[in-house]
Structure formats: C-alpha cells, structure tokens
Amino acid sequence: MSDMIKLMKSHVSVRSFTDEVIPEEHLKEILEAGQAASSWKNFQSYSIIKVRSQETKQAIYDLESQHWIKTCDTFLLMVGDLNRAKVAVDLRNASFYPEGVENLLISSVDAALVGQNILLAAESLGYGGVMIGMVRQSSEGLAELLNLPEYTYPIFGIALGVPKKHNPIKPRLPLETVVFDEKYRVADSQVIHDFDAVQTAYAGARQTELWSERIVQQFGQPESPVTEHYLKKQKLLRSED
C-alpha cells in the first residue's frame, strides 16, 4: 500500500485542536495542493475565504454554533463562484445565464474536489480538520459578513488545526454495497440493518441514535427552504415569480 493510500484510508474528522498555529508557509502549500484538484474545463468555479482572526471566527460561530469553528487555527469557507464567470462573459459581450442545476453542480463539485485535496494535504503535514456542511443554513449571514457578491454561495467550511486528539476511524459501508460490477444493484433492508449494527459497535456508549435514524432525520422530512431561497437571491436558481 502506498503512503498516499495509507493516508487516505486513515482519515478521521478532527474537532478538537491545540492552540498551535499552522505556519503560513504550510497553509500556502495546503491551499496550492487544493488548487491542483480536477476542475470542470479548468473553469475553477470556486473561491475560498481564509479566516484566521479570532474576531471573524467568532462571528462565524455566532451564525453557526459549532465549537470547532472558533477553536480551530484556520477556518476555510468553500464558495461556489460564478461571479468570475460573469466578468468573463461580460468581457466577451455575451449574455450570462448562471441559473440552473447544472451550473450549481459544476461549481459545487469543483469546490468539493478542492476541499478534499486541502484536507488530505493538511493531514499529510500532521494537521487535521473537519468539513462543516451546516454553514449553508447560515448563507445570508455569511454572505453579509464575508462580502460574498451575486452569483456566489457558501457550500461548506473546513476547520483546520493541530489535532488535540484523534478518534478511531469510522467504519464505512462494505465495498460491495457501494461499488457494482457493470450495473446498479438496489440495496435491500439487510444492508441497512447490518450497517446499523456496525455503527453501534463502533460508537458504543457514545451512540444516541442508529445510523439509519440519522438518515431519517435528513431525508425523512422536507428540506429547509434556506438554501433554495439564498440561491434564488444570488441569481443561481430561477424564481417561479
């Protein structure tokens, strides 16, 4: 097994950090590794807001109260960004059509690939971090705080720092339940039951709910309208009115 594969397979989310600072030269290397990720047609339809001041981290925490936002060394907000595309289209005197699911997927996938590269690069240097998707519920507040213009939207955050502790590696679904030969195979309920048991064994006394119960909390109710409302406001989804 290569060192890179060992690193990838040993990934854990880190939510507890020491007070140590990530040197600027390390952070630059980490961000440049992020930039090296694949990008749709090399459009690079993302931006990154790098937050190191305690004042701004506290302001973000006030919007999205996850403790590791204010205790990490560096908070990165991954932004889907078609604002630069607007500049390019205007430069060529063409019409601009940013709205739609395809463009949202292009910018979201670009940002996600960069974010994963960033986290792996950080881990390779001995740092750790955690992805924070719930920032989308505070999109408008973040946009105001961080001066996000039209045609941009927060996708997720990354809290980075020197790990105070590492949790055990979380189990994943068996490979054969997510990788299929030639054609898709629909999962049966036994797959869910089996993985509930695996997760329960992993979590032990820390478990408060089954893995499948967490899925119900996410997909068993209508989604919050916050993200859709913000995307329409930013002219990235068409309004029905």
Q: Is the pLDDT of residue 240 over 90?
A: no
The more confident residue out of 241 and 126 is: 126
What is the average pLDDT across 118-143? 96
Q: Is the pLDDT of residue 209 over 90?
A: yes
| Closest C-alpha among 43, 48, 116 to residue 79 | 48
Residue 239 pLDDT level (bands cut at 50, 70, 90): confident
Which of the residue ranges 24-38, 77-91, 119-133, 211-225 would you say has the lowest mean pLDDT? 211-225
| Closest C-alpha among 76, 101, 61 to residue 232 | 101
Amino acid at 174: P
Structure tokens at 83: 């604002």
The per-residue pLDDT for 36 is: 98
The residue written with tokens 């059509």 in the block is 97
What structural domains does the chain harbor? 3-168+222-233 (3.40.109.10), 170-208 (no CATH)
Residue 20 pLDDT level (bands cut at 50, 70, 90): very high
Structure tokens at 162: 């020197």
CA–CA separation, 226 and 230 (whole Å): 6
Q: Is the pLDDT of residue 241 over 70?
A: no
Q: Is the pLDDT of residue 169 over 70?
A: yes
Sign of CA dihedral 23, 24, 25, 26: positive
CA distances to 17, 27, 106, 195 from 20, in Å: 8, 13, 36, 37
Q: What is the pLDDT of the chain when averaged over all its residues?
A: 95
Torsion of CA 143, 144, 147, 152, to 10 degrees: 20
The per-residue pLDDT for 50 is: 98
The residue written with tokens 């990235």 in the block is 236
Structure tokens at 25: 């030269």
What is the average pLDDT across 226-241? 88
What is the average pLDDT across 20-32? 98
What is the average pLDDT across 111-126? 98
Residue 10 is classified by DSSP as: T
CB 40 within 8 A of CB 106: yes
